Amino acid sequence: MRDARSVLVPYLTSLGLPVRGIVPREPGLWAMQVADLALGLSGCIVAGNAQASRLVEGFLIGTMQVENFMPFLRRHPGCAVIAGGDRADLQLAALLEGCPCLILTGNITPGELLRSKAESQGVPVICVREDTYTVAQSMAHILEGKKLRELSQIRLALDLVGAALDLEALLAAAQPGCISEKSTGKPPLASLKSAPGKVR
């Protein structure tokens, strides 16, 4: 957003192209419900089923030490955590930090302590058969192919566009003959088409 305002907008304006607004990046637009994510990964929700409608905006791969991983998790609170089924230390830390979903790889069912903690924290836990690398690839593919279907996300998109764009100016600019030589420094397209020999 900062680069768009400081670099892109002045550049486009210098070319005679007025900028009518900038729609900000919003991760919530491509977020996916945990239930749909579990289905896409062919996984099973083993805890936190009541919160299967929670939205996941992305994912983090928990392969490092807990103390090194936590700063990343705090910077991305809307991301699910993919961790090996044998990484109980990292799983518990992610739950306590309030991640929206925990995905355990290697077809290892978590112990009673972790399932109980997940239920109390309201965090769904998905178990999958594949290894961490394969699950991460599948997760990226699923999120990239996500379509805007949730009503809340459609409303969010409409609100973002409505707040960011000068819709009246856009509609006015869409009217025939709105492009002038004064705004672009070039003759209007209609004039070029009507002048024989001008268009090659």
Give yes or no for a contact between 54 and 124, defined as CB atoms under 8 angstroms apart.
yes
Supply angle C-alpha 127, 94, 57, rounded to 5: 75
Give mean pLDDT, residues 1-26: 77
Q: Write out pLDDT tens, residues 108-121.
A: 999 999 999 999 99
pLDDT of residue 38: 95
pLDDT of 81:
96
Q: Measured between alpha carbons, how far is 190 from 119 in angstroms, rounded to an integer? A: 66
Cβ–Cβ under 8 Å, residues 48 and 125: yes
Beta bridge partners of 103: 82, 126
Sequence ranges of the domains in the chain: 2-23+165-194, 27-152
Q: Pairing mode, if any, of strands 32-33 and 102-105?
A: unpaired
DSSP secondary structure string for all residues of 148-171:
S--HHHHHHHHHHHHHHB-HHHHH
Provide the pLDDT for residue 171: 77
Topology classification of domain 27-152: 3.40.1390
Q: pLDDT tens, 157-182?
A: 777 777 778 777 777 777 765 554 44
| Strands annotated E in 22-172 | 32-33, 44-47, 55-56, 58-62, 79-84, 102-105, 125-127
User: Structure pTM?
Assistant: 0.66
For the chain, give the mean pLDDT.
81
Residue type for 140, please?
A
> Mean pLDDT lowest for which of 25-29, 90-94, 132-136, 167-171?
25-29
Closest CA to 100 of 126, 124, 71: 124
Whether 24 has a pLDDT exceeding 90, the answer reads no
User: Residue 150 above 90 pLDDT?
Assistant: no
pLDDT band at 66 (very low <50, low <70, confident <90, very high): very high
Please tell me which of 5-14, 22-31, 69-78 the model is most confident about, judged by mean pLDDT. Answer: 69-78
User: pLDDT band at residue 196, thresholds of 50, 70 and 90?
Assistant: very low
